Amino acid sequence: VKEEGKNNFQFFTSEMNDLISRKSKIAMSIRKGLELGEFSVYYQPQIDIETERIIGVEALVRWNHAKLGPISPTEFIPIAEENGMILHIGEFVLRTACQQTKAWQDAGVEPFRVAVNISAKQFSQGNISEVITSALEDAQLAPEFLELELTESLIQGATSAITKMQELKAMGIHLSIDDFGTGYSSLSYLKLFPIDSLKIDQYFTRNINKDAKDAALVDTIIQMARNLGLNVIAEGVETLDQLVYLKNKHCNQAQGYYFQKPLLPERIEELYSKV
Ligand code: C2E
Ligand code: CA
Ligand code: CA
Ligand code: CA
């Protein structure tokens, strides 16, 4: 029994070691991965439900690690937030997205916005408006083609967040609240913050045709957004049933596998060229 106990203990620690070393491997190889060009950006179309036309794309970062293979952003973004590398990843995505959007416009793709995810740390620590101004200028992209997806968590630093948002808004940049409904913020910030749209989290979208309570929440979010004069975009739309439901409730925008998965930039160009 003693022997077994000992073996179990060793097994447990070696499993833990594997986990720790994967995490620290990831943490330590972000900088090098950026230098080596292991990171790239995919783009997922955002659709106007009424016209079914593209109104924007969301930029989603991808990492193909030399040794570990593809790593999901849901795994490496939290690690990068912990060790500060999110500032570098975030700037890479922002610059790539602005340059790509300008390149599409130059190539005759119908003009649409690019939405970039901004983590709370990037928003609170970085000199975000300088980074953004520089990315737009270098890409020669007009600010109205950029949207920032912010989460409720950055609302913690309330007053400084409002000032930064107002600054960005004054530049002509669009602002949206991502994963709306999953945070714990007070709704009163919706009145204070100069935002253009709310994004309904895919957690709610998934169940609208199955769960009456999720459906009720989605109805309420749509109603509230429309009453406040905001756009409302449902993410994670995978089926026609979900789309029809959203359309009947006057949700005006949608994004999800029902339309397109996140795509390579060349594919976006093929799909949305003007002629
Ligand atoms: P998010 O911002 O909520 O992005 C939506 C996620 O849902 C993406 O996962 C997207 O690929 C996925 N998705 C889109 N349509 C559907 C659908 O119909 N069904 C399902 N099941 N999923 C769908 P992805 O690309 O793995 O990104 C995961 C998360 O990682 C993002 O969630 C975001 O929080 C974070 N992330 C991704 N790129 C960036 C980035 O450049 N910067 C920051 N700060 N975070 C990022
Ligand atoms: Ca997002
Ligand atoms: Ca989201
Ligand atoms: Ca999410």
Q: What pLDDT, on the 0 to 100 scale, is given for residue 12? A: 61
**Residue with CA at minimum distance from ligand 1 atom 8:** 60
Q: What pLDDT, on the 0 to 100 scale, is given for residue 223? A: 95
Predicted TM-score of the model (pTM): 0.93
The ipTM (two decimal places) reads 0.98
Q: 237-241: long-range contacts (C-beta < 8 A, 24 or more apart)?
A: 237/205, 238/206, 239/209, 241/209
Q: Which residues line ligand 1 (CB under 6 A)?
A: 44, 60-61, 72-74, 77, 90, 93, 117, 119, 178-179, 202, 235-238, 256-257, 262
Torsion of CA 262, 27, 77, 165, to 10 degrees: -120
Residue 261 DSSP code: -
User: Tens place of pLDDT for every residue, the chain, 275 residues?
Assistant: 444 545 555 566 677 777 778 999 999 999 999 999 999 999 999 999 999 999 999 999 999 999 999 999 999 999 999 999 999 999 999 999 999 999 999 999 999 999 999 998 899 876 899 999 999 999 999 999 999 999 988 776 667 888 999 999 999 999 999 999 887 777 788 888 899 999 999 999 999 999 999 999 999 999 999 999 999 999 999 999 999 999 999 999 999 999 999 999 999 999 999 86
CA atoms within 13 A on the CB side of 236: 14
- Specify the ligand 1 atom closest to the Cα of 262: 11
**Residue with CA at minimum distance from ligand 1 atom 10:** 262
User: Could you say which ligand is closest to the alpha carbon of residue 255?
Assistant: 1
**Residue with CA at minimum distance from ligand 1 atom 42:** 117
User: How large is the angle between the packed helices 73-83 and 86-106, nearest 10 degrees?
Assistant: 120
Ligand 1 pocket test: pick from 47, 117, 253, 259 the residue with the most ligand atoms within 8 Å of its Cβ: 117
Q: What pLDDT, on the 0 to 100 scale, is given for residue 1? A: 41
